[in-house]
């Protein structure tokens, strides 16, 4: 009997425990200590963004972003339906209505050609998601936002270190968010970051993250006492989590190289099999560098996808589908999502499946995954040996 290859196994570099012990030794275990500051520097080095705030999750970073927009009830935020619930929840919690726009069939990102038709006098922002860390067309989306005076928020949960036309994701929107959940390339179990590209928003972002107080300014000596100045919450992680995260960030290049090797092996080994069976592999436009976050396949039909997952399971390989469309979910419908037209989202959501991809996947395991995939035949022909 062979061990099942999981979809994900959180990677640990080995330095996490040393850092945590050091954090304990330093005696500062709450947020914004030595390790949080070191993480901010590392994230800034990777993304090129100078104002970074570690948060307890990408979800919470999105919530701060939504608060910074000062949304009024009835304001609208354009976003894909093909995303995680947090992209929508963050804005809904602040009173806005999500307006779901369909995705492109190649990159599975917000279809920039459909955005302008969804803009109304109530539209305040465009929330983009770089699916699999492959960039949206930020040139077109930036131009639309500028034309209509809209804020761009990048949900860059997948895309740390990826680029669009040579520029890092997370540096395009006025605000951007990262995830350090254990399924992400770099993680601390649960964690995230807010990247603030509009310097005018930074001081309020700090306040919202620190329970609505100006405590951060107080610790910098900018004010002589700290007090309650806005409605906020507690969005800063313990320095223990930052200590864990720093070890990961310091291994970024090594982790990325291993993930890229796995991603490239899947692409090279599965291209011919896929082409012969109407299976689609990820599309990476020429002007995008991806971060090897996800390797997905689009099977010809929903039945094929379900049969594929079962087939891989019978070969002791775990594969998983991804987002369920938001516009047609119970909450999405309550928010008016039934009027959204998202045929690509509905189609892709049914047919997409993700393969195991994590740094500790051994070469033998990669071969096992490839062999299991290649022995599946969605067209009903006899499997190859
Ligand atoms: C696009 C997107 N945004 C936000 C999140 C939420 O991230 P977190 O778990 O760090 O809150 C996820 C989770 O995977 C995601 O895929």
Instruction: Give pLDDT tens digits for 164-198.
Output: 999 999 999 999 999 999 999 999 999 999 999 99
Give first-to-last CA distance, the chain, whole Å.
Answer: 20
Pairing, β 296-298 against β 52-55: unpaired
> Which run of H or of E encompasses 182?
none
Which of 58, 91, 156, 321 most suits a substitution to test ligand 1, by most atoms within 8 Å of the C-beta?
Answer: 58
Ligand 1 surroundings by CB, under 6 angstroms: 57-59, 83-84, 86-87, 129, 155, 157, 179, 181, 192
Residues in the chain: 385
- Any idea of the CA torsion for 179, 180, 185, 186, to the nearest 10 degrees? 140
- At 1, the pLDDT band (50, 70, 90 cuts) reads low
Residue nearest to atom 9 of ligand 1 (CA): 181
Closest CA to 135 of 108, 98, 114: 108
Where would I find the beta strands (DSSP E) of the chain? 52-55, 76-80, 97-101, 123-129, 151-155, 163-164, 167-168, 175-179, 192-196, 288-289, 296-298, 352-354
- At 218, the pLDDT band (50, 70, 90 cuts) reads confident
Closest CA to 271 of 382, 374, 368: 374
Give the global pTM: 0.96
103: tokens are 């995705």
Which of 59, 188, 190 most suits a substitution to test ligand 1, by most atoms within 8 Å of the C-beta?
Answer: 59
141: tokens are 């989306």
DSSP 320-369: B--PPPSTTSHHHHHTTGGG---HHHHHHHHHEEE----TT--HHHHHHH
3-state secondary structure of 219: helix
The per-residue pLDDT for 2 is 76
pLDDT for 385 beyond 50: no
Bridge partners of residue 125, in order along the sequence: 77, 151
The per-residue pLDDT for 381 is 43
The per-residue pLDDT for 379 is 73
Separation of alpha carbons 90 and 67, rounded Å: 8
The per-residue pLDDT for 145 is 98
Catalytic residue among 18, 45, 184, 225: 184
Which of 54, 56, 84, 192 most suits a substitution to test ligand 1, by most atoms within 8 Å of the C-beta?
Answer: 84
The yes-or-no answer on residue 184 being catalytic is yes
Instruction: Give pLDDT tens digits for 247-289.
Output: 999 999 999 999 999 999 999 999 999 999 999 999 999 999 9
Bridge partners of residue 103, in order along the sequence: 110
295: tokens are 């390797």
Mean per-residue pLDDT of the chain: 96
Instruction: Give pLDDT tens digits for 320-377.
Output: 999 999 999 999 999 999 899 999 999 999 999 999 999 999 999 999 999 999 999 9
User: Would you tell me the crossing angle of helices 252-275 and 239-250 to the nearest 10 degrees?
Assistant: 60
Q: How far is the CA of 66 from the centre of ligand 1 (A)?
A: 15
Q: How far is the CA of 302 from the centre of ligand 1 (A)?
A: 24
pLDDT for 102 beyond 60: yes
Among 2-6, 59-63, 169-173, name the one with the lowest average pLDDT: 2-6
- At 383, the pLDDT band (50, 70, 90 cuts) reads very low
């Amino acid at each position: 009997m062979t061990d099942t290859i999981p979809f994900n196994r959180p990677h640990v570099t080995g330095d996490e425990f040393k850092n945590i012990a050091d954090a304990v030794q330093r005696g500062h275990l709450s947020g914004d200590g030595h390790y949080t500051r070191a993480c901010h520097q590392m994230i800034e080095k990777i993304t090129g963004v100078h104002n970074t705030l570690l948060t307890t999750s990408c979800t919470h970073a999105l919530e701060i972003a939504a608060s910074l927009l000062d949304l009024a009830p009835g304001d609208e935020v354009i976003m894909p339906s093909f995303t995680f619930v947090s992209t929508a929840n963050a804005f809904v919690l602040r009173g806005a209505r999500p307006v779901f726009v369909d995705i492109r069939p190649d990159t599975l990102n917000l279809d920039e050609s459909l955005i302008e038709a969804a803009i109304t006098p109530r539209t305040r922002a465009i929330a983009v998601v770089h699916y699999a860390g492959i960039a949206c067309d930020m040139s077109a989306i930036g131009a639309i936002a500028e034309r209509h005076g809209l804020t761009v928020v990048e949900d860059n949960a997948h895309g740390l270190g990826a680029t669009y036309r040579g520029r890092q994701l997370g540096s395009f929107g006025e605000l951007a968010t990262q995830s350090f959940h254990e399924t992400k390339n770099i993680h601390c179990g649960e964690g995230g970051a807010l990247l603030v590209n509009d310097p005018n928003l930074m001081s309020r972002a700090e306040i919202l993250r620190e329970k609505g107080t100006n405590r951060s300014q107080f610790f910098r000596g900018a004010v002589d006492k700290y007090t309650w100045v806005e409605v906020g919450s507690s969005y800063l992680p313990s320095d223990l989590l930052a200590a864990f995260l720093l070890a990961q960030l310091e291994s970024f290049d090594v982790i990325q190289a291993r993930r890229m090797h796995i991603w490239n092996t899947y692409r090279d080994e599965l291209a011919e099999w896929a082409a012969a069976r109407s299976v689609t592999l990820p599309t990476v436009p020429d002007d995008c560098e991806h971060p090897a976050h996800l390797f997905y396949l689009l099977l010809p039909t929903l039945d094929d996808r379900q049969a594929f997952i079962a087939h891989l399971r019978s070969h002791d390989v775990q594969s998983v589908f991804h987002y369920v469309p938001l516009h047609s979910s119970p909450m999405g419908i309550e928010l008016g999502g039934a009027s959204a037209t998202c045929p690509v989202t509905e189609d892709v959501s049914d047919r997409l499946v993700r393969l195991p991809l994590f740094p500790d996947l051994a070469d033998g395991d990669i071969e096992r995954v490839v062999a299991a995939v290649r022995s599946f035949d969605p067209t009903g022909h006899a499997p190859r040996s």
